[in-house]
Structure 1
Amino acid sequence: MSVRNLSLLARTLIIAIAAAIIGVVSISHASDVDKRAVTIWSEGVRLAGDVYTPKSIVEGQRLPGILMIAGWGGNKSNVGRNYAEAIAAEGFVVLTFDFKGWGESDGPLVATEVMGAADETQTLSLAAQHVRGIIDPYSMSADVRAALYFLGGEAQVMPNNLGVWGTSMGGGLGLIPAATDPRVKAFVSQMGPVNYAHNLQALPAEGMWQLETLTARGELPPFPGQVSRIDPSLAGFPDWAALKRFDLLPYVNHLATPTLVIDAENETMFDRQFNGVLLFEAVKQKATAEYVTFPGGHYDMYHGDNLESSRSAALAWFQRHLHGQ
């Protein structure tokens, strides 16, 4: 284990010990925070979000804001219960949301009939398919951007002092605003894939081009369906062509925001050497960075000691870089 890992683990242990004494980290922090349902607009689609605010906030006070991004098939409720409540209780305004077509958010609509030409926006009554459960990183990135702008507009948030936390696919998606938005002052990527070229090298590029050609010509449905579910452990309907061409490496090389990378020691969803380690090695040349692993596989991070310890590590990172502690 590296010196960086040891230093971060030491801070994590200190927080955990203090929590046991004063009750900072507990199973539920619902009594310490207010939760408010909000609507976020992304590409003309309503997203459902929840804003968590500490009850200790006073009128006129502004706090750092943190956007928390769920992973593949995840939802805001789990992120809220397992992470947002605890972190908001420590003096942050936290926003969680459901991606379009998932959870409580609306999805895109596909009209089942030709709407006809018009020079102006119209209100129509027509039959349409309500599309659900699509995994499209470009659409999801737009949702992340919209959510971050919503958070920055909250009256109780310091608009130029924001943090981004993402888990699994959300960790990779969070890389984009962390690398490009100057308001983001701290980033936590938990098991985030950032190297789709490596992760999806088994998918032939020519096959994906053909897939997109058939979709563009209407020979395949406009959104993927059951046939795209090649891995039963992954929820929803992946747009493999979009995933194949989704390139985060330019953002990896551009990232200069203080970054904490958390990985599962025995990650099986992708090779962490070409994802989390790659991200850490790139950002540490330009900004404060830490890399830490916890035992077990990908889904072990969401239970027991790993959940509490990884949450405490993220909290310590945000306190250090957003509160200056």
Structure 2
Amino acid sequence: MAVTSETISFISGPGLSLHGVIYLPDQARRPAAGAPAIILCLGYRPVFGMFAPKYARGFAEMGYVVLTFEYRGFGESEGPRWRHIAQEQLEDVRNAITYVTTRAEVDADRVALWGDASYGGAHAVMAGALDQRVRCVAATTPFADGEALLRDTRTPWEWQDFLARVDADRRARVLGGGEAVAPEEIMNFEPASHVRAAKHAEKHPELAALRYPLSETADSTMAYKPVDYVDRLAPRPLLLIAAELDRTTPTSQAEQLYGAAGPPKRLVILKGAGHTDVHGARLADVMEIGARWLARHLGPRTADIVRVEGDPEAEDVDARVPADLRDLIEKEAIR
């Protein structure tokens, strides 16, 4: 199937132009009323080229319009460089929702959010909970409570040292100073993530160069608590995909979200997978799980149905990742 892509831009925040790419399925797959759309929310190290094109191409080949974009300050988007602030990125996601609804190729009543790992998953949950235009949400390895995440992935003494460092940086920042640090100095990555990040950086040098404002990023993360909002998503559907061996955003974070969410909801924990596997070695599997979910929950509205509750299995849904894309993912996956 022919998939076309188009470079786009839209405005977010205080007049900032954000860069994105929209992927369009073959015209024969687009209904007269418009195709369903998926907005991809990137994660804590939002380097566009790493995984977004693979997600986008795969879902576009299945008949979805897919919008991928770079948060303010990242990639080709305008804004202070590498200012990783949760609440600002959430605003970018909601403006991306608005943008996609302006596209003639899209059925504005069928817009889904797909959160790619940690922050991307948290953004998808938060934006979906706050924005009624979102029809359903899928999130991989999301976190529920940013403060708990930063605390629970450190020893007690490391946590106290971290808080002291953040407080010192707050005071330096208001006097015109402050540190810019590598992302892993704020979010504590599992050892395997460090190894894989180094391998990814060989293809994507921006990964190695990223530096975030210490106290601003830390404070925004600690204040970011999707678990306090996820119940607002129901009765719109939620899919959570976690990794059994994840030590960066442990499965307990996804379990918290699942427990707080209303139905319909589904939690899938991938056996033997680590944090980066969900968008690396297990990406094709993740996409197939998500595609079955989307095929069921992003269909056209039926006029004589008010709502349908529950989440029966639907293995008969044909939502396979195209063979050539699966081969590409498996060939390029960082292991």
Q: TM-score range by the shorter chain?
A: 0.7 to 0.9
Once the two structures are superposed, residues 60-99 of structure 1 have per-residue CA deviations (whole angstroms, 9 ceiling, x without a partner) of 4401111111111123333332211111121211100011
Residue 166 of structure 1: how far off its partner (Å): 0.5
Structure 1: stretches of 5+ with no match in the other structure: 1-30, 109-131
- 2:5 aligns with 35
Q: Cα gap change, 1:68/1:137 in structure 2, threshold over 3 Å: closer, same or farther?
A: same
TM-score scaled by structure 2? 0.72
Spell out the pairing of 1:119-134 with structure 2 (5 A cutoff): 132-134=81-83
Larger Rg: 1
- Over the aligned positions, Cα root-mean-square deviation in angstroms equals 2.4
Identity, % of aligned positions: 23
Task: Give the alignment of 1:1-325 within 5 angstroms.
Answer: 32-43=2-13, 44-55=15-26, 56-57=28-29, 60-108=32-80, 132-168=81-117, 169-201=119-151, 202=159, 208=166, 211-215=169-173, 217-221=174-178, 224-226=179-181, 230=185, 233=194, 235=207, 236-238=210-212, 239-256=217-234, 257-273=236-252, 275-283=253-261, 286-294=262-270, 295-304=272-281, 306-323=282-299
CA distance in 2, matches of 1:73, 1:315: 24
Conservation of the 8 A alpha-carbon contact between 2:141 and 2:249: no
175 and 320 in structure 1: CA distance in 2 versus 1, 3 angstrom threshold: same
The one-letter code of the counterpart of 1:253 is D
Question: 1:100 deviation in Å?
Answer: 1.5
Superposition TM-score, scaled by structure 1 size: 0.74
Gaps of 5+ in 2: 152-158, 198-206, 301-316, 318-335
Q: Any conservation in 2 of the 1:73–1:102 contact (CA below 8 Å)?
A: no
Partner of 1:4: none
Residue 187 of structure 1: CA displacement? Answer: 0.6
Q: Distance in 2 between matches of 1:243 and 1:66?
A: 25
2:25 and 2:275 mapped to 1: Cα distance? 30
Distance 1:167 1:228, change over 3 A: closer
Inter-partner Cα distance in structure 2 for 1:58 and 1:291: 30
Stretches of 4+ aligned residues off by more than 6 angstroms: none
Counting matched residue pairs gives 265
Q: Whole-Å Cα distance in 2 between the matches of residues 57 and 75 of structure 1?
A: 30
SS at match of 1:200: helix
State the SS of the aligned residue for 1:32. coil
Q: Distance in 2 between matches of 1:206 and 1:141?
A: 27
